[in-house]
Structure 1
């Protein structure tokens, strides 16, 4: 599954808004929107923030950075 799809599914499953996830990542809503669309690639630091926001293990994102 592409990273963009994973991020959208996580957000949909938690019924989170773009703004909420962006705030957790300390980025703008627009930047997060671009990440979900695949226009920007987040670094592991920001994905760690996503993992904390959703209460999941950040290692789920490791496969996207090999």
Structure 2
């Protein structure tokens, strides 16, 4: 399930530079959680996502 550590949370605009810097300097945890979340919400294989979107759009437009 979703883990709040999958993204960088901002509470104000004042935190932007600090949070981006922290994310760039220590990306391991955020990247790991984000990859796990991506695997949950995205069908595999991920490189076929565009094709699935086009197929779904064609199906919607033809009904």
TM-score, normalised relative to structure 2: 0.29
